[in-house]
Amino acid sequence: MRWVVTPRAGLSLSGQFDTLCPMNTSLKDAYIIVVEDDPNAQLITLDLLRLGGATRCYARKSVASALSYAENLPQVDLFLVDINMPGQSGYDLLETVRASEKFASAKVVAVTAGTLDADVNKARELGFDGFISKPLKMAEFVKQVERILKGEVVWDWR
């Protein structure tokens, strides 16, 4: 059995989580959209981001919904997108973001399960800014996102 501690549970991770994932102003100020069709994966991803200090993170269950929502934000710094979703995929989101003037500076990172080397190579060739495999690792995920927001490349699929 796995437990996920969330801010809504009323528990404090003060001291514990800060040593694992120190708060970073770039994470705090970043506009992040999680594009994930699985509601549980959405919650886990958002909770980890918020525990790490993110205040402007949003989740949408489809590419169309995410892009529509993003149009109403002042900016988007990062899309964390599942590759394999019904309807439009993470690849479709990447193509639209890359063709958009509004999202020209946004990073697009694949966050997906069941990854093979071929999946990672395809993501790299198509121009993703990074790749993080599921399940997310609590002690590493926020640090990975912070690095991506600073312009570093993160390719963690093993």
Per-residue pLDDT of 91-102, as tens digits, reads 999 999 999 999
- Please give the Cα distance from 40 to 47 (Å, whole number): 11
Could you give all domains of the chain from N- to C-terminal order, each with its CATH number? 23-152 (3.40.50.2300)
Q: Which two tokens stand for residue 78?
A: 């990062």
Per-residue pLDDT of 7-65, as tens digits, reads 444 434 433 343 333 333 379 999 999 999 999 999 999 999 999 999 999 999 999 99
Distances (CA, A) of 30 to 19, 37, 57, 71, 125: 21, 22, 8, 16, 26
- How confident is the model at residue 11, as a pLDDT? 39
Per-residue pLDDT of 107-157, as tens digits, reads 999 999 877 888 899 999 999 999 999 999 988 999 999 999 999 999 988
- How confident is the model at residue 55, as a pLDDT? 96
Long-range contacts of 5-10 (CB under 8 A, 24+ apart): 5/47, 5/51, 6/43, 6/47, 6/51, 7/47, 7/50, 7/51
